[in-house]
A and B are shown apart, each in its own frame.
Chain A
Amino acid sequence: MRCGVFLCECGGNISGVLDLDSLADVARGADGIVSVSRSQFMCGTEGRRLIEQAVEDRGLDRFVIGACSRRFQGPTFERIARELRLGENAVAFANLREGCSFVHRDEPEKAQSKAEKIVAAAIARAGFQSDLPRGRTFLHRSALIVGGGIAGVAAAEELAGAGIDVHLVEREQSLGGYMARLSKTFPTEDCAMCSLAPQLTGAALEPRTHIHTLTDVTEISGPPGEFRVKLRHRPRFVSEACVGCDDCTPVCPVSVSSEFDLGVAKRKAISRPFANAVPSLYAIDKRGASPCKSACPAGTSAQGYVALVAEGRFDEAYGVASAPNPFPSVCGRICTHPCESACARGDVDEPIAIAALKRFVADRVGPEIVVEKAPLVHSEKVAIVGAGPAGLTCARDLAKLGYQTTVFEALPVAGGMLKTGIPAYRLPKDVLGREIAAITALGVKVETGKRAGKDFSIDGLLADGYGAAFLAVGLQKSSEVEIAGAELEGTLRAVEFLRELNLGEKVTVGDRVVVIGGGDVALDAARSAIRLQKGSGREPDVTLAYRRTRAEMPALAEDVEQALEEGLKVEFLVAPLKIVGKKGHVSALELQRCELGEPDDSGRRRSVPIEGDFVEIAADNVVLAIGQEIVADFLEGCEGVEVERSQIQIDRETLMTGKAGVFAGGDAAATGGWTAIEAIAAGSRAARSIHNFLRGEQLLEIWPAKAAEARPSDEELAGQVVGQRVPAPLRNGAERRADWGEVVGTYSEEDAIAEANRCLNCAVCSECESCVKACPAGAIELDQTETIEELAVGAIIVTTGHKEFDARRKRPLGFGRFPNVVTQSQLARLLAPSGPTAGELKRPSDGSIPKKIFMLQCVGSRDCSSSGNEHCSAICCLFATLHASLIKQHDPDADVTIGYTDMRTPGKAHEEYYRLVQERGVRYVRSRSGEILEQPDGGLLVRFEDTVTGRKNEEVFDMVVLSAGLEASDGTTEIAHVAGLQQSSAGFIKEYHPKLRPVDTQRPGIFVAGTAQGPKSIPDTIAQAKAAAARVVSMLSAGYVLTPAQVASSDSEQCIGCGICVEVCPQGAAALTVGDSPHAVVDANSCRGCGICAAECPSGAMTLGGFSDEEILAEVMV
C-alpha cells in the first residue's frame, strides 16, 4: 500500500492538546506510509489541496485522516477519495477530536499516547480497505406523495411544475386534509378555504398530477429511483358520472358522526365533506354487511328498513323488507330472527326489535300494495310442488323473472307449515292469506288438492312441458318415537294434531295433557291444548316434559315466556319412559329424571338419567313433539331423486337433485336450519338456480358472496348510552289463553320510530338503495370493489399530517363526557361559515350563545405525565388566540379567557397579532387547571391555579375549549411501517438530520414534509413541502443514483446456503438462489448496510463492504 496520513489541527481544537509533530513522526515510521502532512483545517480547501498533491506526487492509493469524528466530515473526505478516483473506501479515519483531544484535555500525556494508537489503528485498517463496487440505478421521473393535505398539494404543485409526474394519494375522499377544516388562519385571519380551494382545484386541473383518493399505500419496495408501490383503492360506490347535485343526501336515512366536522355534526352515509372537495364526487361509506344482514339467510337489509322506519319512511322500508322476502308480515311475527341474535346493540343493552319493526311496516304498508301481473318473458313453465314458504317464494321470484309457474299443493289450502303448523294466536290466517294473495296476483297459479304421486308424478310434469320442477314438500309427518304405549288411544302426534286444528277440523283434548318436546312445535301444541281446554270451559292443565333445562330449549325464549304466562306447567330434566294406559286409553306418562352432563356435538349439554329416580304424571293425552319426517312416497319410481335421512339429496351449490331440471329446497332439502326464513331463502336460491338452468348460463349468483361483517368497535359500543328496547303490546296471559286472537300486537308509529332509532348503523350504508333511486346521473354503483394498483416511482414524499391529541385521555377535563367541552379543532368547525352552525357559535348542549368561554392551553402537550406528550405543539397559542379574536369580533360582549402555560409566539407577525388580540379584550391568565365540573345547566366550573399569584380560583364558564396538541396521524404511523421510516416521540417521522437534511428521511429517496414531521404552522408546512419537492427534483434530475457502497455481499464459493442471513435481514435484501446448491445473494439496492447478516453468517461467506472482519479487527488489535 501507498498510504498518506493527514493530520488536522482543527484550529487548535486538536493541536492545542496533542503534539501533532510528534504524532506525525510516529506515523512516518509505520509500514506503507509514504506521506504525512498537517493542516489547520483539513476539511477546507487547503486540506483538499494537500491530499490531491500527495496523490499526484507520492502515488497514494489510500489515506488516513486524523481529524474529527467520521460522523462529521466523513462524507467530505469520502467524496475527495471518490473524486480522486481512489474510491470512497480508500480513506480511513482516526478520530482525534471527539475521540481524544476533546475528552482528555486534562491528561495530555495519556491523550498523546492514545492518539498514537488511534492513528496506528486507522493505518492498520486502511491496509485492509479495498475499493467497493457500486452500481447505477436509473430514475423514474415520477413521484408518489402520500397525504393530500396542504403539504402534499403544495409539493405536488412544485413537482408537476418541474415536469415530474405526481401520484397524490389521499386516504379520505377528498384532498384538503386538516386545513380544509379550519375556519380562518392566523395571524392574518384570512379564510382557510379561500386559500386552500384554488390549490385543490389547481391540483385537479394539472395533467401531471394523478389524484388517488380513498387510497392507501400498502407496500413500498425497490431502490430509490425505482420504488415499486402498491396502492389499495377502496371503493367509492359513486362513479365519475356524479354531478354533485346533492339529490342523494336528503333521501339517505343513515346519519352518523361526521369525521370532517370532527364529531360536532352529523353526515349521511352518502356524503361529500365540503363544497370545494376534490374530486367533487360524493362517496358512500359502506363498511360491509351489517351483522343483521349477514345473519339473515335471505340476506335482508334489516339495517336498511330499520333506518327508513326511523325516518318515518314506511313505504320505502316495506320495499326493502319485502324485496328478498314475500312474507314480511309473517316473518315479522314468527321468524326465529337470527338478525336480532347478531345485532350489535345486544352488546350494549338489548338487540333492536327487528322482527317487530318488520311486522310494523309490513302490516301498515302491505295491505295497500296493489300487485300487478308480472309480464311473461320466457316460454318455459316451472312446476313447484308444495305451497309452503319455500315453494311460494320460488314461484314469486320466478314469476318476477318472467316465468309461468304453477304450484301444486296436496292440501286444500296454500301456506304449508305457516298455515297448518302455526296456530292463529301467533300468526292470524288473514295475514298469511294477504301475502299469499300478493304472490298469486303476480300470475302464479296455485292448484290445491293436487297430491304428488297420486294426482301427478314428477316425471309426468317434465313430460308435460314443464322446463323444471322445484320440490318443496316439507316434513309433513311427526317422527316415530319408540316408546311403550305409543299405540294407546289419547297419544297424539304434534304435527298432525296442529294440522287438523289449523285446517278447522274438530279436535278435542282431555283434561290433562302432557307434551313431550322442547321446540316450537311442542310449544305450539301445548299452547293450543291450553286454548282448547279453556275454550270448552275447563281449567287448563297442560305440562311440557323436556329432557334438559330451559336454557337448552330450542324454542324461542319469548314463546316460552308467553306459554308460562298462559299457565303452561313444565317438567325439566325428564325423559319419557312409557305411556301408561288404562283400558286402552292413556292414563299417565312415566318419566325418568335426568341431570345435565357433558356437552354433545351440538354444544348442548347432554341429559343423563339419574338411576332409580322416576316420576309419573297423570294424563289423558300425551302429545309427541320430537321431530318431523318427510313423506316421500311420491318419489317412488322417480329416478335420480334420492332421499336419505328424511332429506331429498341435492347439490348444495345449485339445489338440483340427481335428476336434471328437478330442484329441491326448504325443510325437505335443508341447507341451513329448518325454519321459515331458511325456507324462504332456499326458495329464492332455487328460483335463481332454475333461471340459470333454463337459460343455460350463470346469470345470477345462487349464493351471493357475503360482504365482510361490519360492526362498531368495542370502544364505540362502550360509548353508547344504555337503554332498552321499546316493548310491543302484549295481551294479558289469562285473557289471551281463552281465545285464538293474536298474543302480540303491532307497534304504534311512535314506538316503531323510537325503536328504530336505537339502531347503531353498523355498516353505515344500509343498502336501502334510496340514493340509487334518487340519483339523476345513475352514478351510484353499490357493487364496486376494492382494487390494487402498482406503480413505479422515482421518489416519495410523506405528507400524512397529524391528528389532534385525544383529550379524553385527560379525564378530569371532561372532554367526551360534558357536551360543552370541545377542542380547538371542533371550535374551528363551529366557527366556520361552512360548518354545522353556519359560523355562529352555539353551545353543543342546548344551542344557546355562549357568553363566557374558557380556553385551556397545552392539553396533552408539554406534559411529562404518561397520558400526555412532552413536546410543545407549536401552533396552539396562536390557534387559541385566533379563535378568541374571532369570537370577540362576532360578539364584543363575549368574555373570552385563555388559560396558558407560557405564551409562545415565534414566527413572523405572531407576537404583533397576540398583542392586537389582547387589545381586543381577550383575557390571558397564566394558569394551571386541575379539573372541570359540569353544572346542572350545562355550565362548566373550572378550577385553576393562577401561576403568577399562586392563588387558587374557581370560575363558571358557558363553554370550555381545549387546545389539544398535535400527534402523528394514524396515516403517518401506517406509512412509517410500510416505508420502514423511523418515528420520533409522539410518532412524528424522524428526519435524516434535524438541521442539515430536515426533509430527508433515513431512507434514501423518501422525504417528509408538514406535520407528519412535527407540529408546525401552515406557512412552515408549505415551505417544508416545497423544500421536499426541491429535494425530489434535484434527486431525479441526476438521471441515475449510485447504489450504496456499504452493502453486504456473499461469496458464493464459501456460502453453505443455510439461509440464516435471509432470516435476520431487516430489509428483506438477502435471498437464496434456487436450484441444486442454493447460495445467498444480496440485493444491493435494498441493503442498508447494517451488517447483521455478516455477524450471523456461520461460514464467513457474508461480509459487509467497508466493515469486513479484517477492517474491524485491524482497529481492535492495535
Chain B
Amino acid sequence: MSEALVEEQAQAAETEDAERKIIGFFCRECAYAAADATGNARISLPPTIRSVLVPCTGRVSPLHLLKALADGADGVYLAGCLVGQCHYREGNLHAIDRVEFARALLQSVGVEPERVQMFTMSAADSPKFVAAARKMHETISNLPPLKRK
C-alpha cells in the first residue's frame, strides 16, 4: 500500500491545488502533549499536518528534515520545549541549530527555507500548538507544491 500512496502523492504534487503534506515532529515531553490536549478539546486542525512522535526535538537530524521533503512532504516543522526548559537540557537548542542548517541548505538549492520551521511551547500550551499548526499550514498552502526532480 505504501508504494501506491507514494505514487499517488507524487502525482498529486504536480497539481497546484493538491492537498499538501506537512510533517510535524513533536517532542514527547511538550508539543505532543499539547497536541493531545488540543485533540481532547476537539479543536479543529488542518488535516495536512501529520504528527511524528519523537522523544526530544534533539533526536531529529537534518537528514530527517530533508528526507521528509525529498520524499513527499511540502513542509516540515519541529515543535519542542520552550528554550531553557528542554527535559534533556539543550535538545531543543540543537534542534534550532539543525533547522537553521537545513534552511540554509534549502536556500542554497533554491527551495523556500520557510518550508522548514521550528516552534517551542509548553505541554500545557494548546493554543500555541494550534497557532503553530495553522501557521505552518498557511505558509505551505501559500507556496506551490514542492517540485522534485
Give the interface of A toward B (CB within 8 A): 26-27, 29-31, 69-72, 93, 95, 97-99, 102-107, 110-111, 113-114, 116-118, 120-121, 123-124, 982, 1002, 1046, 1064, 1066-1067, 1088-1092, 1094-1096, 1104, 1107, 1109, 1112-1113, 1115-1118
**Which of B32, B60, B87 has a CB less than 8 Å from the CB of A982?**
B87
Known pairs A69-B32, A97-B39, A1118-B5; A107 contacts B87 (CB<8 A): no
Known pairs A29-B1, A30-B1; A1104 contacts B47 (CB<8 A): no
Within 8 A of A (CB), among B83-142: 87-91, 94, 98
- Cα–Cα distance between A93 and B36 once the two chains are bound (Å): 14
**A102 contacts B73, C-beta separation under 8 Å:** no
**B44 contacts A98, C-beta separation under 8 Å:** no
- Tell me if B's interface is mostly helix, strand, loop or mixed: mixed
- Cα–Cα distance between A1046 and B55 once the two chains are bound (Å): 10
Q: Is B147 an interface residue (CB 8 A)?
A: no
- Cα–Cα distance between A93 and B28 once the two chains are bound (Å): 14
Q: Is B45 an interface residue (CB 8 A)?
A: yes
Known pairs A29-B1, A1066-B88, A1092-B88; A99 contacts B35 (CB<8 A): yes
- Cα–Cα distance between A489 and B5 once the two chains are bound (Å): 117
- Tell me if A's interface is mostly helix, strand, loop or mixed: helix
On chain A, the residues within 8 Å of B87 by CB distance are 982, 1002, 1090
**Closest residue of A by beta carbon distance from B85:** A982
**Which of B5, B52, B59 has a CB less than 8 Å from the CB of A1091?**
B59
Within 8 A of A (CB), among B6-47: 6, 19, 23, 28, 32-33, 35-36, 38-40, 42-45, 47
**Which of B28, B35, B52, B71 has a CB less than 8 Å from the CB of A98?**
B35
10 A-B contact pairs sorted by A residue (CB < 8 Å) = A30-B2, A98-B36, A103-B44, A113-B19, A121-B50, A1090-B88, A1092-B94, A1095-B98, A1104-B55, A1116-B64
**Which of A111, A116, A1089, A1113 has a CB less than 8 Å from the CB of B64?**
A1113
Known pairs A70-B53, A104-B45, A1090-B56; A1116 contacts B28 (CB<8 A): no
On chain A, the residues within 8 Å of B54 by CB distance are 1091, 1107, 1112
Report which residue of B43, B58, B60, B72 has the largest number of chain A beta carbons within 10 angstroms of its beta carbon.
B58
Given A72-B36, A103-B43, A1113-B64, output 11 extra A-B contacts at Cβ < 8 Å: A71-B28, A107-B47, A116-B5, A1002-B87, A1090-B88, A1094-B61, A1107-B54, A1107-B55, A1112-B54, A1112-B59, A1117-B6
Known pairs A1046-B55, A1095-B98; A105 contacts B91 (CB<8 A): no
**Closest residue of A by beta carbon distance from B35:** A98
- Cα–Cα distance between A93 and B52 once the two chains are bound (Å): 10
Known pairs A1090-B87, A1116-B23, A1118-B6; A1064 contacts B94 (CB<8 A): yes
Known pairs A1090-B87, A1095-B60; A104 contacts B67 (CB<8 A): no
- Cα–Cα distance between A908 and B57 once the two chains are bound (Å): 44
Known pairs A69-B39, A71-B33, A99-B51; A1117 contacts B60 (CB<8 A): no
Report which residue of A106, A982, A1095 has the largest number of chain B beta carbons within 10 angstroms of its beta carbon.
A1095
Nearest Cβ on chain A to B146's Cβ, whole angstroms: 14
Nearest Cβ on chain B to A827's Cβ, whole angstroms: 36
- Cα–Cα distance between A30 and B5 once the two chains are bound (Å): 11
- Cα–Cα distance between A118 and B21 once the two chains are bound (Å): 12
- Cα–Cα distance between A69 and B52 once the two chains are bound (Å): 11
Nearest Cβ on chain B to A901's Cβ, whole angstroms: 24
- Cα–Cα distance between A105 and B42 once the two chains are bound (Å): 8
On chain B, the residues within 8 Å of A1112 by CB distance are 52, 54, 59-60, 64
On chain A, the residues within 8 Å of B40 by CB distance are 98, 102
**B59 contacts A1090, C-beta separation under 8 Å:** yes
Give the interface of B toward A (CB within 8 A): 1-2, 5-6, 19, 23, 28, 32-33, 35-36, 38-40, 42-45, 47, 50-56, 58-61, 63-64, 67-68, 71-73, 87-91, 94, 98
- Cα–Cα distance between A1083 and B17 once the two chains are bound (Å): 51
Report which residue of B40, B47, B58 has the largest number of chain A beta carbons within 10 angstroms of its beta carbon.
B47
Known pairs A1064-B94, A1116-B64; A1092 contacts B56 (CB<8 A): yes
**A1117 contacts B72, C-beta separation under 8 Å:** yes
On chain A, the residues within 8 Å of B36 by CB distance are 69, 71-72, 98
Nearest Cβ on chain A to B58's Cβ, whole angstroms: 4
- Cα–Cα distance between A353 and B81 once the two chains are bound (Å): 57
On chain A, the residues within 8 Å of B88 by CB distance are 1066-1067, 1088, 1090, 1092
On chain B, the residues within 8 Å of A71 by CB distance are 28, 32-33, 36, 53
Nearest Cβ on chain A to B23's Cβ, whole angstroms: 5
**Which of A110, A1095, A1118 has a CB less than 8 Å from the CB of B61?**
A1095
On chain B, the residues within 8 Å of A1066 by CB distance are 88-91
**B35 contacts A1095, C-beta separation under 8 Å:** no
**Closest residue of B by beta carbon distance from A1091:** B59
- Cα–Cα distance between A1117 and B9 once the two chains are bound (Å): 10
On chain A, the residues within 8 Å of B19 by CB distance are 110, 113
On chain B, the residues within 8 Å of A1117 by CB distance are 2, 6, 67-68, 71-72
**B5 contacts A103, C-beta separation under 8 Å:** no
